[in-house]
Amino acid sequence: MTTDIQPSQKIAWDDSVLPFQLDGADIRGRVARLDGVLEGILRQHNYPPLVEALVAEMALLTALIGQTVKVRWKLSLQVQSKGAVRMIATDYYGPEAEGEPARIRAYASYDADRLTEETPFDQVGEGYFAIMIDQGEGMTPYQGITPLEGKSIAACAEAYFAQSEQLPTRFSLSFGKSSGPDEPEHWRAGGVMLQHMPKASPFAAKGEGSGDVLTATDLVHGEEEENWNRVNILLDTVDDLELIGPSIAPTDLLLRLFSQETPRVFDAQAVRFGCSCSEDKVRQSLSIYSAKDIEKMTTDEGRVTADCQFCSAHYDLDPASVGFESEATSSE
Ligand SMILES: [Zn+2]
């Protein structure tokens, strides 16, 4: 359902993604705000602030990108690098039914002794940025990958869309720790994503084989280029407080930035922190091991244990009940 924007719609915007379209410029976009989602992700871990900032940025990108794809099961973003932060992984699970929230989970692995005093992105070295889409059983998973470049994960994501998808894409993100009079210090993130509508893609063939790194502006020409540049200049005027909220509603922000471009909004998608791990899945992943292998994994206390990297859930199982020779499977 689409609606023309009414100023100051009173809706709780935190932990939601608002899709919009600029009719005047063939550009679609998203405004996302994360609060409780980040709390849910970060309280499971005890990351240093630099790592928390990277995880917050990735989670925000995941919410924005996840909502642009019709995700029936899972969209994942991954940064793998040779830097102090070796890996940041996020998953976005599409809503199971209309009106249900999408769920996001995330984790990072890093070498604490290699973290420096520099910016969060300086902790990420040479490596790659990947997007994977898994639409569930029977569907071939999709994966696209680009080298890490630029000065932020958002810049890497922009390069990914330009090079792998030929979609001119822009992110303007803000994230940080905030505190109100009645609330403790906690992470918030907010951002705007702009994407030129796919009909720009026939131009993407230009420059093929040149080996040049494509940027968003290489993909649009003529009137489309003018539209893209004009809307980007408008987005350049946004400030961190407008992005991160909560004092300004996303609808008010869109009117402030793009009133001349006829912004139109669609139903907002709620997002929540959520993990898909379960004892059944742990048993499934152990079902490929023989009794001998299971014996090697068994602790001195006589248990097989597993911890979820995403949500820190701890699974503690009877060795006799796991593996392909277990009582559980052999009795079937
Ligand atoms: Zn979990």
Distance 62 CA to ligand 1 centre (A): 17
Query: CA triplet 47, 107, 178: central angle to 5 degrees?
Result: 50
Residue at 8 is within a domain: no
Distance 300 CA to ligand 1 centre (A): 24
Do 289 and 255 share a domain, yes or no?
no
Q: Which residues of the chain have pLDDT under 50?
A: 7-10, 200-212, 330-332
Which residues are found with C-beta within 5 Å of the ion, ligand 1? 275, 277, 308, 310-311, 313
Distance 50 CA to ligand 1 centre (A): 23
Q: How far apart are CA 151 and CA 197, in angstroms?
A: 26
What predicted TM-score, i.e. pTM, was given to this entire model? 0.87
What pLDDT does 17 receive? 96
Position 143: which residue type?
Q
Distance 54 CA to ligand 1 centre (A): 20
What pLDDT does 12 receive? 79
What pLDDT does 201 receive? 41
Range of the domain at 299: 279-330
What pLDDT does 268 receive? 94
Q: How many residues does the chain have?
A: 332
Q: How far apart are CA 194 and CA 30, in angstroms?
A: 7
Distance 312 CA to ligand 1 centre (A): 6
Residue at 1 is within a domain: no
Q: What is the DSSP letter of 212?
A: P
**Residue range 192-221, pLDDT digits in tens:** 999 997 654 433 334 334 444 556 777 777
Do 178 and 230 share a domain, yes or no?
yes
Distance 221 CA to ligand 1 centre (A): 46
Distance 311 CA to ligand 1 centre (A): 4
Residue at 199 is within a domain: yes
Question: What is the number of domains present in the chain?
Answer: 2
What pLDDT does 328 receive? 59
- CA dist list (Å): 213 to 125, 150, 210, 265: 19, 12, 9, 33
